[in-house]
Structure 1
Amino acid sequence: MEQKLIAIDLDGTTLNENSQITPKTKEVLTKATAAGHIVSIVTGRPNRISENYYDFLGLKSPMINFNGAVGHIPHQTWDKEYALTFNRDIAFEILAAKEQLGIKVVAAEGKNMALADVPNTVIDDFFPVTLKANEVLNKINLQENPSAMTMLVDKLQLPKTVSALEENFGDKINVGVWGGPNPILELSPKGVNKAHGVKFLADTFKIDRKNILAFGDEHNDAEMIDYAGWGVVMQNGTDKLKVLANDITPLTNKEDGLAHYLEEYLKLA
């Protein structure tokens, strides 16, 4: 079998409902790597809350974070590493208009930066629960342009917030709405998405588009699923995403759906 680039989303795909990688999933992904395929994590998460999974899987491949805005090999310097950003002034403008926009928490991040304006306990790990003075999002601390911004928004104001952000900054950023129970918005550099990261990986490893196998479950996986030669959507994925799929896993992320599918597809059993 030709070498495949296997691009895996984390939440709702590789991770089960407890945000864990099961022994079965680890076993299959390890087998896939041993068979000569390249397994790469392609996630919306920052590297600070995805490197633990990378290490647990024992990967040596590049990882794509912030929905395609950052590509790097964890724990080492790599001459092909990249980070796409947008102007930090956008963060300051949003902070200033926070109240009228119905925003409760604003975070700005980059590969080596995580700042938030207020601590928050709504989502474990995602927003800082406590903030040191140098972790507060303000003009003193935000010295570089961010690769992503994440915001917790008032649920009732969500549509209004989205349209206001798109109206004011739509030529410079993408505004993404998270699936799931929490009203969270994600800003990324204009035109950047997971397909950008996957194309970068394929070009780097000289892998033909037809040999890209991608797994996802949510709206932020759409471009990647569409771009891949074989885009696989999880059984628990959104209906919108399933329309773009070449195939759908018979099992959900709670049932090792990715592992079982990959084992069969790559004939690893």
Structure 2
Amino acid sequence: MIDRKLVTIDLDGTTLNNQSKLSTKTKKVIKAASKAGHIVSIVTGRPNRLSTPIYDALELESPMINFNGSLGFNPHQKWSEEYQFTINRDIVLDLLKNYQRFDINLIAAEGKNLFLAQQQQPTELNFFPSVLQANEELNSRSLSQDPTSLTIQASENKLQSLSIYIEEKYGLMVDVNAWGGPHNVIEVGHKGIQKATGVEKIAHYFQIKRQNIIAFGDESNDNAMIDYAGWGVAMNNANSHLKSIANDVTRLDNENDGLADYLSDYLQLDAANF
């Protein structure tokens, strides 16, 4: 009988290459891990609308964690532990009133079954439509529920003051995190919720001990997950802080199947199949 592991995988910069694609090797290794009896779960900052196709391509049946831990569900079947943490819609409405003050280009409010956005001009962020449909426009009338996540793009010289404004006014209710990289983007989520929140729920559901969790990530939103896992692995292309807190670093980066290379060795999968 195998010592069953829970394998939690970030998507962008980790499981996906720089073109946001799955390689053939990555698909084969993850499918082999599942076939061997391990639980593989996607744990991502992405919304479920953008990660379910990847979930399907990997032929997963496990719960999936979205919005950096704020949503946990199974895309195609009922999960008894499904959950969703939200933020007060009044925060969104306040930010809409301060659109010009902070030179905001995009505000997107999302949830499991929610996508609404307001933008000044078409965005280059591939997570969002370049042009919004009428039923996707965010305003006080269309936002009839509390969202799970807010994504905000603003000018570089106003992003810090915007973050400070949100933290000073709503810091007891929400956390504010920067995307990093070339985009002037911040995310707003429920206070104290991180990827580790979802990982813990999945592990408890499958009765997998913490020391049998292996987690892969590359950015600051993976810090808590890497720290929580019994074996946290930073990608070769990860930021320096994540590498410093991880148990190990992959030999290869996300462009060269770093996750698949490491996981096949770690789980002692049959390399001849890859």
Which TM bucket (shorter chain)?
over 0.9
Q: 1:199 matched to which residue of 2?
A: 200
- TM-score (normalised: structure 2): 0.95
Identity %: 51
Offset at 1:169? 1.2
Q: 2:122 aligns with which of 93, 110, 120?
A: 120
CA distance in 2, matches of 1:77, 1:267: 32
1:17-32 pair list within 5 angstroms: 17-32=18-33
Equivalent in the alignment of 2:237 = 236
Structure 1 residue 131 displacement after superposition: 2.1
**Map 1:145-156 → 2, pairs under 5 A:** 145-156=146-157
CA shift for structure 1 position 33: 0.4
The match for 2:143 is 142
Counterpart-to-counterpart distance in 2, 1:221 and 1:135: 29
Q: Deviations over 1:178-237 (max 9, x none)?
A: 022111100010000000000010011100000000000001000000000000000100
Counterpart contact for 1:42–1:64, Cα < 8 Å: yes
Distance (Å, rounded) in 2 between the aligned partners of 1:247 and 1:11 = 19
Contact 2:87 2:190 in 1 (8 A): yes
C-alpha displacement of 1:265: 0.6
Aligned residue identity for 1:191: G
Q: Give the superposition deviation at 1:121.
A: 2.9
Per the alignment, residue 130 of structure 1 pairs with 131
**Paired residue secondary structure (2:100):** helix
Q: CA deviation at 1:255?
A: 0.6
Cα deviation for residue 78 of structure 1 reads 2.8
1:133: Cα distance to partner?
A: 2.4
Partner residue, 1:257: 258
Determine the structure 1 residue equivalent to 2:75.
74
Q: Match of 1:4?
A: 5
- Matched letter for residue 133 of structure 1: A
- Listed as ranges, the matches of 1:89-108 within 5 Å are 89-108=90-109
**Once the two structures are superposed, what CA deviation does each residue of 1:133-171 show, in whole Å capped at 9, x if it has no partner?**
221111111111111000111112222221121111111
* Distance of 2:175 and 2:156 partners within structure 1: 20
Of 29-38 and 126-135, more deviation after overlay is shown by: 126-135
Q: Which runs of 5+ in 1 are unaligned?
A: none
Greater displacement, 129-138 / 220-229: 129-138
RMSD: 1.0
Letter in 2 for 1:162: S
Q: What is the match of residue 63 of structure 2? A: 62
Aligned residue for 2:101, secondary structure, equals: helix
The alpha-carbon deviation at position 28 of structure 1 amounts to 0.5
Q: Do the aligned residues in 2 keep the contact of 1:101 with 1:164 (CA within 8 Å)?
A: no
The one-letter code of the counterpart of 2:75 is P
Alpha-carbon shift at residue 107 of structure 1 (Å):
0.5
How far, CA to CA, are the matches of 1:167 and 1:53 in structure 2? Answer: 37
Q: Which runs of 5+ in 2 are unaligned?
A: none
Aligned length, in residue pairs? 268
Q: Is the 8 A contact 1:120 1:127 kept in 2?
A: no
SS class of match (1:251): coil
User: What SS does structure 2 have at the residue aligned with 1:99?
Assistant: coil
Distance 1:174 1:243 in 2: 23
Deviation at 1:103, TM superposition (A): 1.7
Secondary structure class of the residue paired with 1:191: coil
Measured in 2, the distance between the counterparts of 1:161 and 1:29 equals: 40
1:260 is paired with a residue of what secondary structure? helix
1:235 & 1:7 partners in 2: Cα distance? 17
- Report the Cα distance in structure 1 between the residues aligned to 2:95 and 2:240, rounded to whole angstroms: 32
Q: Distance in 2 between matches of 1:101 and 1:60?
A: 42
- Tell me the distance in 1 between the aligned counterparts of 2:169 and 2:102: 12
